[in-house]
Amino acid sequence: MNSGLIGKIEKAHRYAQEPERIRINAITASFNGDNSSYNLSLEGDTWACNCHTHETFGDCQHVMAMQQLLRPMLSEDAQSSGQPGLAGAMDGTSATPR
């Protein structure tokens, strides 16, 4: 392996410690909940999930879990749902999603 390539791999390790360098613009994911599997997505700053809770509140435990996992890589708007519903009832930093 040449030294240039080693440098790039070292850089990758450093970058992986600095997730705030990354801004996620869109995601599609399937989420294995306790009872069922759901399709969720992020498009720009807008989250969607096909579970009943999201349909009702505009927010849900699946999206909130994704927001906790990906927080440093999300825009400020994408870190919250923009809906006071669930986020108002549960503080995203200390709540245990169950």
Residues lying near Zn ion in the complex (CB under 5 A): 38, 49, 51, 54, 60, 62
Distance of closest approach, residue 56 Cβ to Zn ion, in angstroms: 10
Looking at the chain, list the stretches that DSSP marks H as alpha helix, in order from N- to C-terminal side. Answer: 3-16, 52-57, 61-70, 85-89
Select 49 or 74, whichever has its Cβ closest to Zn ion.
Answer: 49
Select 14 or 52, whichever has its Cβ closest to Zn ion.
Answer: 52
CA distance 62 to 74: 15
Distance of closest approach, residue 63 Cβ to Zn ion, in angstroms: 6
Query: 72, 45, 69, 49: which is closest to 59 by C-alpha?
Result: 49
Looking at the DSSP bridge assignments, the partners of residue 26 are 43
Select 39 or 75, whichever has its Cβ closest to Zn ion.
Answer: 39
Distance of closest approach, residue 29 Cβ to Zn ion, in angstroms: 11
